[in-house]
Structures are given as structure tokens and as C-alpha cells.
């Protein structure tokens, strides 16, 4: 009996070049799945109408760039169809509270939640912070968010995660969002998405709000 290494060598030689012409596809990379969140098992039955405050950039991002993400975050939240969303503009926020936005970890002015409940007839409020903002490749965007009731002041859901275009799973999520999730197609995400914080932010915000508790 020939030694095993010689037998394997003979097998490769007999198979010819066709053996090396086989193009084995890489297994598809699954989409990105956020992990840094927690919330109640289900949304409270009494929660029907929620105020969305403007995104807070703090020292991380200038006010103009933060404001550009407001409609992106609003659209992502409305896509979930969990509740009616009332978007509070920066102008209204400044008119009522003398600031354009609030951070989720800031000390809130007395009566803020009560005033929002009274003026907008909402049951809860969502605060959103921009914790990371890298507008050059690879894009990176961090979101921290909290959903709190306005009457009994209870935290229903919280989220804190950084999304990076340097992650293969995020590229899959970007393709799923903009190209319909055709996993059979090669990963070829438009450069316009990976060079635009708002377009990349749309994917990140969509992934974030997918983690909200169900009805």
C-alpha cells in the first residue's frame, strides 16, 4: 500500500487543473445585531403617543450635523409602527425650555416631562444622544437612547451602541436596507451611503429602534 501522502498527491494530479478552478464562495455575513440594550418584555398597554426630542450632540458633534440626523431618527422610529410619534422640533424645544436639545444623562429641568405631557398629550418621551460621530471612512456613529414614561417616570427601554462601516456585518445591514437584502448578490454598497453620515445613520437608527419592546 502506498503511503497516504503519496496517495493524496496522486489524487490531486489526476484531478487536473479543474480542482483549482473551483471558486468556493465565502459564506454570507449575517446582518449586524445590536446587543447593548434592555427593555421591558412588552410596551405598556397605556403607551400610545410618544414625544421624540431632538438628537443631542453635546461636545461630540456640532449642532448642524446633529440636526441633520433628526429626520433620519424620526423616520426610523415611525417605521417601527409601535406608537404614534410626536416630533419636537429644536425651535419648540428652545421656546419651551431655552435649549435646543437634552441629553439622556443630563439633569432635566423641573417639570419637563409634565409639560411635554400637557402640551403634546404624550404618554412617554424618547431622548437620543449622538455618542460617536466619525464622518469619514470608515463611518462610525454611536447612539444612546432612552424611552421613559411621563406620568410614573419609568424607564421602558434603553440603548447604547456604536455602529461602524468597518464591520462586515454592518455592510450587510446597509445592503439589506438600501438594496432589499439580496444575499445572493455580491456586497457592493454604494459609496454614497458609506460617505454620508445621514444615509449610514438611517441604517443605524433603524437597527436601534428594532430593539424597542414589541406590543
**Given this model, what pLDDT does residue 5 score?**
39
For residue 31, what is its C-alpha cell? 446582518
Average pLDDT over every residue of 94-121: 94
Question: Is a pLDDT exceeding 50 seen at residue 124?
Answer: yes
**Given this model, what pLDDT does residue 191 score?**
74
Q: Give residue 188's pLDDT band: very low, low, confident or very high (50, 70, 90).
A: low
For residue 178, what is its C-alpha cell? 438600501
pTM for the full predicted model: 0.84
**Given this model, what pLDDT does residue 181 score?**
58
Question: Is a pLDDT exceeding 90 seen at residue 192?
Answer: no
Question: Is a pLDDT exceeding 60 seen at residue 8?
Answer: no
Question: Is a pLDDT exceeding 50 seen at residue 18?
Answer: no
CB atoms within 10 A of CB 205: 25
Residue 88 burial by Cβ neighbours in a 10 Å radius (0-12, 13-18, 19+): buried
**Given this model, what pLDDT does residue 180 score?**
73
**Given this model, what pLDDT does residue 14 score?**
36
**Given this model, what pLDDT does residue 194 score?**
85
pLDDT digits (tens, 9 = 90+) for 51-89: 999 999 999 999 999 999 999 999 999 999 999 999 999
**Given this model, what pLDDT does residue 183 score?**
54
pLDDT digits (tens, 9 = 90+) for 88-100: 999 999 999 999 9
**Given this model, what pLDDT does residue 13 score?**
37
Average pLDDT over every residue of 106-114: 91
Q: Are 150 and 122 in contact (CB under 8 A)?
A: yes
Distance of CA 173 to the CA centre of its chain: 10
Q: Which of 45, 123, 57 is nearest to 84 (CA)?
A: 123
Domains of the chain (ranges plus CATH)? 35-166+197-209 (3.40.50.10610)
Q: Which of 186, 184, 173, 204 is nearest to 30 (CA)?
A: 173
Average pLDDT over every residue of 30-46: 97
Amino acid at each position: 500500500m502506498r503511503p497516504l501522502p503519496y496517495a493524496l498527491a496522486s489524487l490531486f494530479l489526476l484531478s487536473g487543473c479543474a480542482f483549482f478552478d473551483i471558486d468556493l464562495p465565502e459564506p454570507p455575513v449575517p446582518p449586524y445585531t445590536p446587543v447593548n440594550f434592555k427593555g421591558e418584555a412588552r410596551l405598556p398597554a397605556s403607551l400610545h403617543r410618544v414625544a421624540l426630542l431632538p438628537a443631542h450632540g453635546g461636545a461630540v458633534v456640532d449642532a448642524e450635523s446633529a440636526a441633520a440626523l433628526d429626520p433620519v431618527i424620526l423616520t426610523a422610529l415611525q417605521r417601527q409602527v409601535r406608537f404614534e410619534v410626536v416630533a419636537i422640533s429644536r425651535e419648540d424645544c428652545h421656546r419651551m425650555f431655552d435649549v435646543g436639545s437634552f441629553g439622556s444623562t443630563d439633569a432635566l429641568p423641573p417639570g419637563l416631562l409634565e409639560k411635554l405631557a400637557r402640551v403634546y398629550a404624550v404618554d412617554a418621551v424618547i431622548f437620543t444622544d449622538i455618542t460617536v460621530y466619525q464622518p469619514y471612512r470608515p463611518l462610525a456613529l454611536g447612539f444612546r437612547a432612552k424611552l421613559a414614561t411621563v406620568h410614573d417616570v419609568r424607564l421602558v427601554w434603553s440603548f447604547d451602541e456604536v455602529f461602524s462601516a468597518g464591520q462586515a456585518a454592518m455592510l450587510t445591514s446597509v445592503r439589506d436596507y438600501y438594496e432589499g437584502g439580496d444575499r445572493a448578490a455580491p456586497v457592493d454598497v454604494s459609496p454614497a451611503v458609506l460617505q454620508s453620515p445621514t444615509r449610514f445613520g438611517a441604517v443605524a437608527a433603524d437597527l436601534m429602534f428594532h430593539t424597542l419592546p414589541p406590543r
